[in-house]
Structure 1
Amino acid sequence: MATKKKTPAKKKSAAPKVTGKGKPVILITNDDGVTAPGIMNLVEAVKDMGKIVVVAPDKPQSGMGHAITIGHPLRLQKVNTFGDIEAYACTGTPVDCVKLAVDKVLHRKPDLCLSGVNHGANHSINVIYSGTMSAAVEAAIESIPSAGFSLLDYSIDADFSGARKYARMVVEKMLTTKLDKHTVFNVNIPALPADHIKGLKICKQAYAKYEEDFITRQDPHGRVYYWLTGEFVNFDKGRDTDVWALANGYVSLVPVQFDLTNYVLKSKLEKLWK
């Protein structure tokens, strides 16, 4: 008696994936907002290097660090800011942008995540507060090699020629180097024309910080408010730091990580605190 063949179970179809037809998929975000000149220059620098998808905040989110939105809904709005490049404005933080991009836009992890170009420095301790770098760190947590780019110029009319040149250079190296999936680069570019920059230096993060002060003022109703000010102070006199490199006309690249464990102290405590 012939046995009846079982019909193979149908596989559930996966959500559609953004593909670059052999090209790497590159997610671009920032913290200055989807219409900021910095992100436009970053897209321009690398747009031929892969399938580019932009998901960035709909408004400035500087200084947000690694904040996520949990108290109200998030929205994505498709925008035409970058011509034929797929782009979305997100109502959330830079970290929200990365999370939503992976889960709801790409339906996959991109090959690279780029954040910036930030308007202003993210060297030394600034990496802790930076929304630009937190987006890059979030990508690395999700096993996506990433880099954050910052230009030491807050002007809306800043010269981004150096930033475009060195962002492209770094991305080329990232695409041609076998990197750990948790790689994060913090790249800062001095406020100089491209032909005045001396080159790229691999650096460590300087021990430098803002000596802060809060100015006390009154609003028109007589209520007291405070305005944060401060002076940047570099305590690290080494010539291998990001602050030194930038002050001397170089682009700085610092490999950073999200594992905050102090391994030296851990080893000491394991012996002392038995």
Structure 2
Amino acid sequence: MPIPPLPLVMTEPLVRAALLEDLGRAGDITTDAIVPADATARVALVARQPGVVAGLDLALQAFRLIDPRIEVAVERPDGSTLLRGDVIATLAGPARGLLTAERVALNFLCHLSGVASATARIVAAVHGTRAAICCTRKTMPGLRAVQKYAVRVGGGSNHRFGLDDAVLIKDNHIAIAGGIPAALERARAHSGHMVKIELEVDSLAQLQEALDLGVDAVLLDNMPPPVLREAVAMVGRRAITEASGRITPETAGEIAATGVDLISIGWLTHSATVLDIGLDHCG
């Protein structure tokens, strides 16, 4: 099912800020010096390696904000699987606008396609299990909404979007509160009836304590697969189970086979490798 694009009101400020950062105080002095004001060109966004497209809307906004006369023909929208050499979109219009917007457009497109492509690889690695792949709050400042969007494009799911939409009680909360019972009691007293509560545990003893007290979800942190399997059996569908901690495409399948509901991975957003996409001149 196609993922709906993010509203323009959310994405345009990001693109506009990136363009302003790049244009500085004098604009594109290289292009303005070399390219005649009336020159036109036709270019294509081309995949240089296989992957999944994400962030095309932001890339195209960059071109249109610089020069609304640029015309676009989309060949492979967000969510499309790419092979090397595939044309994602073609653009035609004022050459200065095409060149000035190029880097900002590619920065968004390559990065977000990299997030989507990495997510798709992990999703493929757990195919046939119940586990969903989800991201975390380990996002780059200012880019959380679009990075989480790219995860969805790649077939993954989103964890909480911030500190305000769910309670996640971690080890430091427990230590400062004086234990799991105190932390849970305070969280319940403070939270509204629509707010879910998840508790991080790193041992089966902590997990049993959490289950006795009742939680909506448990974050099983850095547990090896044999322990994860035992933890899932202990939970017995009484709470959502989430595995986390240094998970890779090579280890995801074994972790998913333990029966966990979610596998959360921070590097999908904070360290995903960009997908190599270029802007090629077509004449």
Superposed pair shares fold, TM > 0.5 = no
TM-score norm. by structure 1 comes to: 0.24
TM-score norm. by structure 2 comes to: 0.24
**As a proportion of its length, which structure holds more strand?**
1
Answer 1 or 2: higher relative contact order, Cα 8 Å, separation at least 6: 2
**As a proportion of its length, which structure holds more helix?**
2
